[in-house]
Amino acid sequence: MYLARTIRAARITILAAAAMTALLLTAAMPAAARGKGADTLRILAIGNSFSDDAMEYLPALLDNLGVENVSLARLYVAGCSLERHMKMYNNDKAAYQYYRSEAGCNRWAKAARNVSLRQALADGVWDIVVMQQASGFSGRYESYEPYLDSLIAVVRRAQPHARLAWHMTWAYASGSTHPQFADYGSDRTQMYEEICGAVRQMLHEHPHTFRYLIPSGAVIESLRLSEVNNPPMDFTRDGYHMDFGAGRYALACTWYEVLIRPFTHRTMRNNSLLSIWGDMKVDDRMASYCRQAAWRAARGPRRKVFEARAVTKPARARWKGHIDVVSQDMTIYEK
C-alpha cells in the first residue's frame, strides 16, 4: 500500500513530465540558474527526446538520495541534430522547449515560452554542458562535423569555464520501424557498433574537449544482453525512445554516476527509487540490474566503456529508511 506524502516536510515530490501541461511555468523564462550556494552543480543538456529520456528521472533520483545542491536544465527540439542546433543558433531561433529543475526543489518545470540556445546559455553559470547527436545520425561521424566544432565554440564563448560532456546514445530496438534504422541494416548490433565507432572517432578528433562521456548506449546494450530484456522492444516504448520505466531509470542512474557522483561523492548504487510507470516496471530486481549496468559503465576505464556485457549477478541495494515509487502521473509515493 502506498501512502501519498504531505508537503515537503513529509518529502512529497511532484515531477512534471514533458507532456504534463498543467505544471507549466507561467513565466516566459525561468530565473537564472541558481542553487543554495556556491557549491551548487548546474547542468545543461542541449538535446532532443533522447536527452529527455535520459534526464526525466534525475530529479526523482536526486530527491531519493537527499541531494539538494544540483540544478538541471534541458533544451528540447524533437529529433534535433548537431546541424539543426547550429542552424537555429545562427538564426537566433527560439525553438527549444526549456525544462528546469532547481536545486533543492528536484522537480521539472517548463518555461511557458520557447527559448533560443543563446538565451539558455545566458541563463546563469553552467558547470557542465552536455551535447549529443540525433539518434539516426549517431553512428555516422561525417554528420557530426563541422557542426560539432561550431557548437563547441558557441558554448566556449558563452560559458568559458563549463566542462563539456558527450552523451553517447543507444541503438534502436531489434524490432524498430524507425526509417533511419535501415541505414544500419536494420540490425541493432550493427547500429550499436557504428555508434561506438563514431564516438571513438569524435573523441580522437577532440581529445581534450569532453571531460565526461555518458555511456547510455553501452548501459542499454548491456541490459539488452541480460535476462531482463524484453525483445523485440529492447527497453524501448516504441522501438527507439526509452521505456517510461526501466529504460529511463537506467539512464538516470548513468547520468548521475558520471556527472553528479564526482560532485556529491555519493554513489547512486543504494538508491531506493522504483517505478510503476511504463511497460518495464522498476521493482527491486529490475532496479538492481539497471544500477549495476550503470555503475559498471560509468566507473570503468574509458577504453572499455564501449564493451557491452550482460549483467549476470547484480548487487541488491542496501536500503535504509523509505522507498520512493514513481507512478504513471510522475507522483512520488513512499512505500
**Which residues of the chain register pLDDT less than 70?**
1-38, 317-322, 327-335
Expressed as residue numbers, the domain containing 229 is 8-334
Q: Is residue 313 part of a domain?
A: yes
Determine the pLDDT at residue 300.
84
Count the Cβ atoms, other than its own, within 10 Å of residue 313: 6
Q: Is 31 exposed, middle or buried (0-12, 13-18, 19+ CB in 10 A)?
A: exposed
Domain count, the chain: 1
Q: What confidence score (pLDDT) does residue 243 get?
A: 98
Q: What is the DSSP letter of 295?
A: H
Within 10 Å of residue 183's Cβ, how many Cβ atoms?
A: 15
Instruction: Identify the pLDDT of residue 15.
Output: 36
Residue 206 inside a domain? The answer is yes
Which domain CATH number covers 152?
3.40.50.1110
| 108: in domain | yes
Asked whether residue 2 is assigned to any structural domain, the reply reads no
Q: Could you give the residue ranges of the DSSP H alpha helices within the chain? A: 49-55, 58-65, 82-90, 117-121, 147-158, 188-205, 216-224, 246-255, 261-264, 284-299
Q: Can you tell me whether residue 131 is helix, strand or coil?
A: strand
| SS3 (DSSP) at 33 | coil
Strand partners, 324: 273, 334
SS3 304: helix
Can you give the pLDDT at residue 322?
65
**Is 321 inside any structural domain?**
yes
pLDDT of residue 298: 94
pLDDT of residue 324: 81
Q: Would you say residue 3 lies in a domain?
A: no
Position 321 scores a pLDDT of 57
HSE, side-chain direction, 13 A CA sphere, residue 241: 15
